[in-house]
Amino acid sequence: MSNTERPLSPHLSIYRWPVTMTLSILHRATGVAMSVGLVVLATWLVSAASGVDDYDQFVTLMSTLAGRLLLIGWSFAFFFHLANGIRHLVWDTGRGFEKRQANASAWFVLLLAVGMTVVYWMML
Amino acid sequence: MSSATGHFVAQRVTAIVLVLLGSWFAVSLNGLDSFEHAIVVAFIAEPLNGALLALMCASLAYHSHLGVQVVIDDYVHAAGLNKASLMFSRISHLVVVALSIYAVFEIGTSA
């Protein structure tokens, strides 16, 4: 006899993507993106040490549309990873694990990171 | 302490250091009058700024390597390739941190 009331295993077609999963993936993605960005940070420092000509060449390169988009991307990655990193540090103390808290902090971190990126570039 | 616990602790210690130094760097960059060579070099040549920058670069590279290591262990399962990737990450991060700190030192001593 089959029981139609029994719980079924989650089905991909009815699975609601939780926002916390987006944040988890973004934390890793922004981390890897910034690992690549370290090369640019080092290039900035080395070009500055090499003299004004090399430095100006670096600035010219980063002032192109592609360069600016990359810098904006890295700044968002920084602010997101910073805010979400603090969220992780709070979790390390055993707090904020309730589903509602985790969802709320997820949206908070996401909006904060976008907001900080916008404000940062407006102030620059 | 097992190496896994060591990884966990080091990741968090560098994270806390970077919350502070990263914020300092972001605020300092925004505070510069412009990104002209003379202004940037003058900023880096300040002893405190140079020291904090060098410390930040070292912490960044360490934290970055710890993170990349987790990603490699998650996705690269073939033992040989896993080892090679970890070695590549370690060497790249060492090169980047050596170049960065040398550049900061060079600016500090020649200014």
- Reading chain B (111 residues) residue by residue, the pLDDT tens digits are 788 999 999 999 999 999 999 999 999 999 999 999 999 999 999 999 999 999 999 999 999 999 999 999 999 999 999 999 999 999 999 999 999 999 999 999 996
For chain A, domains (ranges, CATH) are: 26-123 (1.20.1300.10)
B68 at interface of A, judged by CB pairs closer than 8 A: yes
Which residues does chain A have within 8 Å of residue B18's beta carbon, measured at their own beta carbons? 85
Here the tokens at position A62 are: 């980063």
Burial (0-12, 13-18, 19+ Cβ within 10 Å), A59: middle
For B43-67, write each residue's pLDDT tens digit.
999 999 999 999 999 999 999 999 9
Specify the amino acid at residue B40: V
For A50-88, write each residue's pLDDT tens digit.
999 999 999 999 999 999 999 999 999 999 999 999 999
Nearest residue of B to residue A46, measured between CA atoms:
B103
* Overall number of domains in chain B: 1
Average pLDDT across chain A, whole number: 94
Which residues does chain B have within 8 Å of residue A83's beta carbon, measured at their own beta carbons? none
DSSP output for B11-77: HHHHHHHHHHHHHHHHHHHHHSS---HHHHHHHHHSHHHHHHHHHHHHHHHHHHHHHHHHHHHHH--
> What is the model's pLDDT at position B111?
67
B67 at interface of A, judged by CB pairs closer than 8 A: yes
> What is the model's pLDDT at position A16?
82
B107 at interface of A, judged by CB pairs closer than 8 A: yes
Interface test with B, best of A32, A44, A45, A59 (most B CBs within 10 A): A45
> What is the model's pLDDT at position A1?
55
Do B103 and A46 lie within an 8 Å CB cutoff?
Answer: yes
End-to-end CA distance of chain A: 69
> What is the model's pLDDT at position A5?
75
Q: Which of residues 53-92 of A touch B (CB under 8 A)?
A: 55-56, 59, 78, 82, 85-86, 88-89, 92
Instruction: List the CATH number of the domain containing B86.
Output: 1.20.1300.10
Whether A111 and A117 have beta carbons less than 8 Å apart is answered as no
Q: How much is the pTM?
A: 0.93
Here the tokens at position B19 are: 């919350």
Range of the domain at B70: 3-110
Give the integer Cα–Cα distance in Å for A83 and A78. 9
